Amino acid sequence: MTGNAAPAGLAPDPAREPLRVAVVGASSLIGEALIAELRARKFPVAALHALDDVRDLGRRPVEEDGAASIGDVAGFDFAGVDLCFFCARQEVSLRYAEAAAAHAWVIDSSSAFRARPDIPLIAADVNAGSLAGFAERGLIALPGSASVALATVLGPLHAHGGLVRVDVATYQAVSGSGRSAMDGLAAETVDLLSGRKLKARSFGRQIAFNVIPQVDAFGPDGRSLEERRLLDETRRVLALPALSMGVTAVRVPVFFGHGLAVHAHLARHADVLETAILLHRSNGISVFDADSPEQFPTPATLATAPDRVYVGRLRTDPSRERSLNFWIVADNVRKCAAYNAVSTAEILVNRAH
């Protein structure tokens, strides 16, 4: 497996004034991962407020001393923080995020504001330049995990070869639907292996030992909301509003780690070696060599190494000139959500000083 350039979000200078930080949705999978990421990267925190909606209270975030409690966001005064991460349900972001942004930087991981053209949509390794001149308060949206993984790889490909069309099938882990979906997969697996009938189905039908070609609700045109989001968010992050794309989103019985099978048609020729070198030198990407012992990335083998988007099975398409096929794997909770959120915060802090 090759190495690569450092991710875009360089650590803030520890000599700078620490920030007062709030995490809304601290009991969620992303909230827990984000708090762990702040610690791992030694983000300068003067005070950390773990918050959640009253409906979601009861779980604790990942804490070294195990003693932290989570407060109710409804009673919190956002005038007392400099930076706020929203990792909660969309409804919670819609209720509180804009009010918080009147006092602080707000980085929102939900889908609540991704379609708003007046709010930056940031994948830190791809379009950090969109934060240039951003004020010391205001709202920033983050793309969905599959969009972050896809845009991270397509960005350098487009800069080098010009994207003409992209077709992608995503194979999305159940953690994309939260902790209850993970619990559901575990329970279904136990029931089926024990020869029992399923007690419940987290996705409306069996997910254990199955794949479901539906992520979120279907629209009148037959596309799911996730397929629509992936298309819109990728186009926006890449600043390619007219990019031709075909998208199919599939839910698979994996706890962490989205997989994406991608076909990219380019405006100019790019061979496999040239593309591998290009991606190798790009932010946030690791490339698997075809002759390496690992050969290709999988979610199960890379769930504990969540700081990169991994690319493998890179090959030309013999049926179409100037086309490449490849496979992407990325940890959806940690790399594509928590890591992206903290990287975005580091960019803000560095540019403000």
All structural domains of the chain with their residue ranges: 19-143+336-351, 147-332
Helix (H, G, I), strand (E, B) or coil at 261: strand
Mean pLDDT across the chain: 91
Dig out the tokens for 338 from the structure: 């928590």
pTM: 0.92
Question: pLDDT for 67-119, tens place per residue?
Answer: 458 999 999 999 999 999 999 999 999 999 999 999 999 999 999 999 999 99
Q: Which CATH superfamily is domain 147-332 in?
A: Dihydrodipicolinate Reductase; domain 2 (3.30.360.10)
Mean pLDDT (whole number) for 55-63: 60
Q: What local confidence, expressed as pLDDT, does residue 66 receive?
A: 43
The domain 19-143+336-351 is placed in CATH, from the list 1.10.600.10, 2.40.50.100, 3.40.50.300, 3.40.50.720, at 3.40.50.720
Mean pLDDT (whole number) for 285-310: 85
* 308 to 4, 8, 96, 125: CA distances (angstroms): 9, 12, 31, 10
Phi, psi (5° rounding) for residue 251? -95, 130
Residue 331 has pLDDT above 60, yes or no: yes
**Which is nearest to 38 in space by CA: 71, 55, 60, 63?**
63
Residue 134 has pLDDT above 80, yes or no: yes
Note whether 84 and 341 are within 8 A (CB): no
Mean pLDDT (whole number) for 284-302: 87
| Residue 57 pLDDT class (50, 70, 90 cuts) | confident
Question: pLDDT for 151-189, tens place per residue?
Answer: 999 999 999 989 999 999 999 999 999 999 999 999 999
Question: pLDDT for 190-245, tens place per residue?
Answer: 999 999 988 878 888 999 999 999 999 999 999 999 999 999 999 999 999 999 99
